[in-house]
Structure 1
Amino acid sequence: MALDYKQAGVDIEAGESLVSWLKEQQPRPMPFQERLVGGIGGFAALFRANFPEMKSPCLVSATDGIGTKLKLAIDFESYQGVGQDLVAMCVNDLICCGATPLFFLDYYACGKLRLPAAKEFLSGVLKACTESGCALIGGETAEMPGVYSHNDFDAAGFAVGVVDEAKTLGAHRVNVGDTLVAIESSGFHSNGYSLLRKVFAEDQESWKEELLIPTHLYVSAVKQVLESQNTALHAVAHITGGGLDNLLRVVPTGCQLQLHEWKIPEPFLEVERRTGLPRRELLKTLNCGVGMVLFVDSDASDSVIEIIQKQGFQSWVLGSVVEGKKEALSRWDFKKA
């Protein structure tokens, strides 16, 4: 008996149909339309790298995934939000360097290409790219029967941005006396779900909305701060896996952090109650309501908070940089706000 590729589990025509659909969904014009050479569907994607306004342009790259939050999305058949998660996890990392996102590529691997699910997911990817001002210029769809079960899939994202080297943000610009400005998270974002799925295993349906809220896209807000308070913004920390310990990635030697207490949203407190985790363990596991933190000049904090709030996010002073030994969260001191 003859056996073709489709009978073996790989539907080439379905993949081609998805690419055609995605081309039709692209915004007109796309972000950076004038820099794009060709379009989706080629062997590779081309982007004109010409930045005359920069003295020393540096390309900045980031890659990430969605983690086990995908399992919940699959169980609840809700895919658009995790499409946004994929983009957010990458472009939010880029902006931590002060980089402007340029373009994004996705990798979508599944056991069986189900077009309605794939289209819903990619619509979330495309919408998030547009909101972040970057172009979705390519990707890969891999149908892999035998590796993934029928309904399961995984995805990875790849983002590239650019920053003028002299304007790169990071620990090298952080000083004693800097103020930490927090930007709210939308919820759990896309981290901690191996724990969260166990915590809410018995009543996931009632917590579905909270568990599937997509990650905030912070590019626009941080770019607004950069444009109006450029020299006052020293570093940015994206609060992802590892919780508030991510702050240490932009703290230089000879400095430590003095954090204020803040109102932790109820879903995180519910995790604390159900698990019995000590508060500091909770803070180094989940974002606890803090999605991104900006390190700024102390006299600029009010202006920065105002800019962020105009972008639709809650924002507040989270703490400050003081002299001392760089230490993990378990040894940090917290002051009453």
Structure 2
Amino acid sequence: MIMDYKQAGVDIQAAEQALDKIKKMVKSTFSPQVGEQWGNFGGLYKIDENRYLVASADGVGTKLKIAMDMNIHDTVGEDLVNHCVNDILTLGARPLFFMDYLATGKLNQQCFVDIIKGITNGCVNNHCALIGGETAEMPGFYSPGEYDLAGFIVGEVNSSKILGSSKIKFGDIVLGLSSHGLHTNGYSLVRKIFSDHHISWNQTFPGLKGSLGENLLKVHKTYYPLLKSLLDSDSLHGLAHITGGGIEGNLSRIIPSGLQAEIEVNWEIPPLFQLIEKIGEINKNEMFKVFNMGIGMIVIAGEDKQTEILKHLTDHRGEVFKLGIIKSGRKKVELHL
């Protein structure tokens, strides 16, 4: 049976329709300080003539279920921080501070310490202060050993350095930065596939280093250390964090009207994604809608800056791929599989 995300319980189209229904309500709360960039990876709030705060909130999703199954809890906190940092990075922001929310039925002290260890590792690596959080014990709400985790980040960007659709131009180049596996998206589909086939997280497969579960728990990569020194230059025009919705769904969020991104799938798809596609009998187009497929961040830059940026990325041990170019079109992404 061919599997897709909707059959696993996640309906991306329905979620997008729900967001359309709340836009008017959300915008009714806006003050003049709120940046008009609905649909981006973070929210903008003007604090003076030259600076904006950039805020975002996210979770780790059902990747937590695999962490619980394997009793490995010291990575999901780092996933959380890195995901949030990447989201505000797409607007050119540097992280300032982070807060977390942990909810569980009954607090397990060692599990709690391991989770916070991951969060602090993520904050240290991204030069971000963990200034507080909330730990909620809710007996009867969660099954024994279960918990949920969410994070909230605030960063800062100079108004002249905000990245996004206003800076993206015809002829710009499109580069892709490699991911560390699935990051934090697609896990509901993955869990259903391997559960239906009675495959243990401890099982090993050719092409994967370590067990299946260890590969699925690889930490969501942060791109801030790699890109931070470029933020004050005029080299970068746009960044897209490739999360739920894949390359097309996320890159299209920053493409301006009258232009489109032409993307060639010219990189080798990592073995983990190939394994998921094969065992789940998932259509190739569905794979690219659900997963990052080996590309965790997309960089858009001026063609005249290509050599400079490629040198910077390779000098800093970044694995980068030349994916395509920005052309005239109808505000979309053409993904050539």
Deviations 1:110-132 (A, max 9, x none): 11100101101110000100100
Higher Rg: 1
| 1:225, distance to aligned residue in structure 2 (A) | 2.2
Q: Secondary structure at the match of 1:123?
A: helix
Deviations 1:45-71 (A, max 9, x none): xxxxxx9xx951111100000000000
TM-score using structure 1 length: 0.80
Q: Would you say 1:291 and 2:322 are equivalent positions?
A: no
Choose which of 235, 238, 241 in structure 2 pairs with 1:235.
Answer: 238
**Matches of 2:105 and 2:310, distance apart in 1:** 45
Deviations 1:234-256 (A, max 9, x none): 11000001111200011011111
Please say if residues 172 and 300 of structure 2, whose CA atoms lie closer than 8 Å, have aligned partners that are also in contact.
yes
Choose which of 245, 255, 260 in structure 1 pairs with 2:259.
Answer: 255
Q: Secondary structure at the match of 1:282?
A: helix
**Matches of 1:166 and 1:303, distance apart in 2:** 21
| 1:224, distance to aligned residue in structure 2 (A) | 2.1
| 1:231, distance to aligned residue in structure 2 (A) | 1.0
Percent identity at matched positions? 39
Q: Would you say 1:139 and 2:139 are equivalent positions?
A: no
The equivalent residue for 2:336 is 334
Please say if residues 253 and 325 of structure 1, whose CA atoms lie closer than 8 Å, have aligned partners that are also in contact.
yes
TM-score using structure 2 length: 0.80
Task: Name the amino acid aligned to 1:241.
Answer: G
Q: Secondary structure at the match of 1:173?
A: coil
Q: How do 1:258-269 and structure 2 match up within 5 A? A: 258-261=262-265, 262-269=267-274
The equivalent residue for 1:86 is 80
The equivalent residue for 2:222 is 217
The equivalent residue for 1:171 is 165
Coordinate RMSD, CA, aligned:
1.5
Deviations 1:200-225 (A, max 9, x none): 22222220111100100111112122
**Matches of 2:311 and 2:231, distance apart in 1:** 13
Tell me, which stretches of 5 or more residues in structure 2 are unaligned?
Answer: 1-46, 204-211
Please say if residues 258 and 329 of structure 2, whose CA atoms lie closer than 8 Å, have aligned partners that are also in contact.
yes
**Matches of 1:276 and 1:309, distance apart in 2:** 35
| 1:226, distance to aligned residue in structure 2 (A) | 2.0
Task: Count residues in correspondence.
Answer: 278
Task: Name the amino acid aligned to 2:317.
Answer: G
Deviations 1:121-163 (A, max 9, x none): 1100001001001100000011111111120000110000000
Please say if residues 191 and 286 of structure 1, whose CA atoms lie closer than 8 Å, have aligned partners that are also in contact.
yes
Tell me, which stretches of 5 or more residues in structure 1 are unaligned?
Answer: 1-50
**Matches of 2:307 and 2:273, distance apart in 1:** 27
| 1:75, distance to aligned residue in structure 2 (A) | 0.7
| 1:313, distance to aligned residue in structure 2 (A) | 2.3
Deviations 1:15-51 (A, max 9, x none): xxxxxxxxxxxxxxxxxxxxxxxxxxxxxxxxxxxx9
Choose which of 267, 271, 276 in structure 2 pairs with 1:271.
Answer: 276
The equivalent residue for 1:18 is none
Deviations 1:239-284 (A, max 9, x none): 0011112000110111111112221111111111122222222111
Please say if residues 225 and 308 of structure 1, whose CA atoms lie closer than 8 Å, have aligned partners that are also in contact.
no
Q: Would you say 1:205 and 2:206 are equivalent positions?
A: no
**Matches of 2:137 and 2:167, distance apart in 1:** 45
Mean CA deviation greater in 278-287 or 149-158: 278-287
**Matches of 2:59 and 2:179, distance apart in 1:** 18
Deviations 1:84-118 (A, max 9, x none): 11101111101100001000000010111001011
Please say if residues 170 and 327 of structure 2, whose CA atoms lie closer than 8 Å, have aligned partners that are also in contact.
yes
**Matches of 1:154 and 1:102, distance apart in 2:** 24
Q: Would you say 1:61 and 2:63 are equivalent positions?
A: no
**Matches of 1:107 and 1:264, distance apart in 2:** 34
The equivalent residue for 1:116 is 110
Please say if residues 181 and 301 of structure 1, whose CA atoms lie closer than 8 Å, have aligned partners that are also in contact.
no
